Amino acid sequence: MIGVTAVMTATPGNGDALVDAMKAIALEVEKEAGNHCYLVHQSVDDADNVLIYEQYTDQDALAVHREHLKELGSGLKGLLAGRPEVRQFILKS
């Protein structure tokens, strides 16, 4: 299982709009084969900071997601203050 975190900073004052956009994207991502979750979190300290937590079956499922996200994320440009900080993790049980 592959876990992914993406930390995003909204342009000033657009945190709620970024959350709404990411929740709409989540509805589509959750339909992808190999996706186990796509959860949107907003910082309690700074509403312009958003964290996405995702899980995928394997690297192949993650690769499919990345291609799909190119299409889904096209409307985020005005909402993001910069590139998301993305990290991958492997589930150890």
**Residue 19: CATH number of its domain:** 3.30.70.100
* Share of residues in the chain with pLDDT > 70 (%): 100
Instruction: Dig out the tokens for 46 from the structure.
Output: 């700074």
pLDDT at 31 exceeding the cut of 90: yes
Domain containing residue 19: 2-90
pLDDT at 47 exceeding the cut of 90: yes
What is the arrangement of strands in the sheet containing 85-90, beginning at the earlier edge strand? 35-42, 49-56, 2-9, 85-90
pLDDT at 15 exceeding the cut of 90: yes
**In the chain, how many domains are there?**
1
Determine the 3-state secondary structure of 55 from DSSP: strand
pLDDT at 26 exceeding the cut of 90: yes
Instruction: Dig out the tokens for 56 from the structure.
Output: 């995928």
pTM above 0.85, yes or no: yes
